[in-house]
Structure 1
Amino acid sequence: MEKFDCLVIGGGMVGATTAVALADLGLKIALVDTHRPDSNLLDNPGDYDQQQDYNLRVSAVSLGSEQLLRSLRIWQQVQLWRVTPYRRLAVWEQGLSYAEFHCDQIKQSHLGHMVENHLIQAAAWLQIKARSNIKVFAPQKLSKIENREDGITATLGDITIESEILVGADGGNSMVRNLAKIGTSGWDYQHSAMLINVKTEQDQQDITWQHFVNGAPVAFLPLSGNRASLVWYDKPQTINELVNLSSSQLQQRIIEHFPKRLGNIEVIDKGAFPLIRRHANQYVKNRVVLVGDAAHSINPLAGQGVNMGFKDVHALQEVIAKAIGSGEHYADASVLRRYEKQRRNDNLLMMTTMDLIYRGFKQPAGPIKLLRNLGLFGAQRMGPIKDKVLAYACGL
């Protein structure tokens, strides 16, 4: 039986980053995942071809998340591969109901970067390889945990691991959360999102935008060169129909449905997923700690999902570092609850805000439509308040 200070279940973007962040505190880490990421990127990072097609899964990484990833030497590798900065963010429905946020408002060179998820994950795994105090168990699957007040015993097939704490970073359908018997609240939004990679008529743009059409938003995420990722939110039956169209048929529907500023496009790839809200009733139970989607799944409307996960990582690292520095045992319940107190309320605020915006725009007509358009009109003219909202959204 091997013993570790921390066992991290889940090697995705947030889980791999968690392993690196806690290893940098001098802790002995075990990382478990059902598979390893792209072996080509891990074995030959210098051979990456920046002209290859984009992966469908793209995240808007905020300035705050960039700072965390840079401190862990993850961001530097991602930049060597491929990132796309954006300087402006726009939201509108019609006419004067238009709000635009600019990086100059918060005295920054950009608001964030569009990055493919698998590149962030691979860069984090490169840092894992570089640290002698992280041991990887992959492919392996968690089957059982004994969650006691004085430690964790985890079973992976025929392997048993002892750990002071266990961090669940294994996604929205978290096995850790289920085995720890941590309940959730949430619902199905009865909408799905379609991701569409396209070639665009225009070269790289510095703006990401969302346009609301009859209560269903469509979004534009800029990528390098003349590439972009489009997001189409709609009822599941509509999205299912769109997914089954040919590329040329889908291209025509996009031109009809998206705003004219999109210009001509060519569909390269497409995929879809349902929208679900899920929030763990607690982030800490004895020695089990939840981070990322294992703790919270949010409407992707404003691209805050992965950034909330990275905020979790930063908070957990900070709480444990302070405990070690003050002579406390980092796995004590009182220490871990500081992380929960710091993150759960903040995440709940963000989730509730996104839901209010989402539900507000679902009403296609009437007084609510008038109110939201007045809100967008006013948001464009809010001055210092607008700047503070932008800074918060960027994680600053």
Structure 2
Amino acid sequence: MTHAFDIVVVGAGMVGAALATGLGQQGFRVCLIDRLEAPAFDPDAAPDIRVSALSAGSQRYLDSLDAWDQITSMRSTPYRRLAVWDETRHPLSKLMPRQLTRVEFDAAGLGGSHLGHIVENSVTQRALWQSAQAQDTVTTLTGLSVVALEENDTTATLILDDGQRLEAQLVVGADGAQSKIRDLAGIGINRNQYAQQAMVMSVRYQGPVDDITWQGFCPSGPRAFLPLHSAEPDHPGESWASLVWYDSPEELARLKALPEEHLLQDIQTAFPPELPQLTHLEARASFPIARQHAKRYFSGRVVLAGDSAHTINPLAGQGVNLGFQDAQCLQGQLKEAARANTDLADPAWLQQYEALRRPANRRMMMTMDLFYHLFSNRVPPLHLLRNLGLGAARALPFARNQVARYAMGIDERLPAGLSQLIDRIPGLRQL
């Protein structure tokens, strides 16, 4: 059996569900397909181990999709401050007091009430599914996988594992870093595997919900704290948080094998003293870190968005925010294509999408790589350089806040001077 649509979106995670909703709002007949349904929300359950720091720009986009109110009706935690500092202990540390190399961003200094929200991925996905299913022009299919792709001059056809055929002008691959759609379209990738991995943990701590998220940088990688919601009334005086520990695969394997009590002790010792007193470890998981970029964002009648097109070092939690920017940009290009009464897979529109998104995505990739290489070492000159840099950022609030406004999605563009500097880095254009 063949079903006809304007667009088929493969992958109903956060980015795919957002894109399907936006396209449905614009009147396109959309099919959203995934092997799994969005997880149900249980207000009494412990938080999802996967969380994201959603920027102000992402909040605006999700609000336009009628998903933001649904997110806040479930669970979200605004953070008003963000801090970074160097935790490396070295004789050169004595040249600059620790408090002078701590940089803190505050929403009040940026003209806002908050910098962003920490939200469980399952909550964001559930809200977007509800928004997608509220669109009369969006059809959702679950429990099915794509096994083949056929293309001709007018349509693309996806063949599913149950024999169904989905026909459309355009197929969007939003099915993640290991994208099957990208492979079927014959689009290659450039990939760089980092030596580090990341372990994420859901924990409870003694104290109220905090309004700050922070990262302390160690030679083996950052230690990060992301505040979540209150654990009351079941656990009076306690709150939930998500922790991230970057380190070598061997060290993380050792930590994952520890009993809860011993792991909590190691966390309390290894993390900066700003970490509150932990009371419970709910869950732990680790994953490799890689920078990955598709060699093209489209081929024929297939176009990529989100992690299918790019993954970055998760240092600043920008991955899903970049994916939402992809979705918003692609929506705009397809809206113009429909207005011009042209083929939705017309290369002119898809090239414009790639021309807008590839430079922005690779610039963020290189920025995260600079942070990674600058902070993940004990080389004395670099240690002094990064401390001087943090000290300068503390002393120059105007420049610091310009960068912060870009990172938080308040401003659309990176400050011109920094953007030009990053664009001149050798190898950037190959990403």
TM-score by length of 1: 0.95
For 1:137 and 1:36, the matched residues in 2 are separated by 9
SS at match of 1:262: coil
Residue 273 of structure 2: aligned partner:
260
Q: Give 1:105 deviation, angstroms.
A: 2.3
For 1:387 and 1:149, the matched residues in 2 are separated by 49
Residue 347 of structure 2: aligned partner:
333
SS at match of 1:204: coil
Q: Give 1:2 deviation, angstroms.
A: 1.4
Q: Does 1:99 align with 2:103?
A: yes
Deviation string, structure 1 residues 214-251 (Cα, Å, up to 9, x no partner): 34210000111211111000000101111111110100
Residue 359 of structure 1: aligned partner:
373
Q: Does 1:244 align with 2:257?
A: yes
Alignment of 1:170-189 (within 5 A): 170-189=175-194
Residue 381 of structure 1: aligned partner:
395
Percent identity over paired residues = 40
Deviation string, structure 1 residues 350-370 (Cα, Å, up to 9, x no partner): 001101110111111310111
For 2:345 and 2:25, the matched residues in 1 are separated by 16
* Kept in 2: contact 1:147–1:180 (CA 8 A): no
* Kept in 1: contact 2:300–2:345 (CA 8 A): no
For 1:80 and 1:336, the matched residues in 2 are separated by 36
Structure 1: any 5+ residue segments left out of the alignment? 42-47
Which of 136, 154, 161 aligns to 2:158? It is 154
Q: Give 1:75 deviation, angstroms.
A: 1.1
Alignment of 1:47-196 (within 5 A): 48-49=42-43, 51-94=44-87, 95=98, 96-157=100-161, 158-196=163-201
Q: Give 1:328 deviation, angstroms.
A: 4.1
SS at match of 1:161: strand
Residue 207 of structure 1: aligned partner:
212
Deviates more, 1:73-82 or 1:141-150: 141-150
Amino acid at match of 1:152: A
Amino acid at match of 1:330: L
For 2:336 and 2:302, the matched residues in 1 are separated by 19
Q: Give 1:323 deviation, angstroms.
A: 3.1
Residue 11 of structure 1: aligned partner:
12
Deviation string, structure 1 residues 91-134 (Cα, Å, up to 9, x no partner): 10151211111112221110110000011111111112211211
SS at match of 1:223: strand
Which of 383, 389, 407 aligns to 1:393? It is 407
For 2:252 and 2:33, the matched residues in 1 are separated by 34
SS at match of 2:6: strand
For 1:168 and 1:370, the matched residues in 2 are separated by 44
Deviates more, 1:328-337 or 1:166-175: 328-337
Residue 34 of structure 1: aligned partner:
35
Amino acid at match of 2:69: Q
Amino acid at match of 2:77: T
Q: Give 1:204 deviation, angstroms.
A: 0.7
Q: Give 1:163 deviation, angstroms.
A: 0.5
Alignment of 1:294-333 (within 5 A): 294-333=308-347
Deviates more, 1:260-269 or 1:248-257: 260-269
What is the root-mean-square deviation in Å for CA atoms of aligned residues? 1.3
Residue 275 of structure 1: aligned partner:
289
For 2:45 and 2:305, the matched residues in 1 are separated by 32
SS at match of 1:224: strand
Residue 227 of structure 1: aligned partner:
240
Q: Give 1:150 deviation, angstroms.
A: 3.1
Q: Give 1:341 deviation, angstroms.
A: 0.7
SS at match of 1:335: helix
Q: Give 1:149 deviation, angstroms.
A: 4.9
* Kept in 1: contact 2:220–2:246 (CA 8 A): no
TM-score by length of 2: 0.88
Aligned length: 388
Deviation string, structure 1 residues 179-200 (Cα, Å, up to 9, x no partner): 1110100111021101111111
For 1:318 and 1:160, the matched residues in 2 are separated by 27
Structure 2: any 5+ residue segments left out of the alignment? 88-97, 231-238, 411-431
For 2:171 and 2:109, the matched residues in 1 are separated by 41
Deviation string, structure 1 residues 31-56 (Cα, Å, up to 9, x no partner): 11011122x44xxxxxx42x431110
* Kept in 2: contact 1:149–1:287 (CA 8 A): no
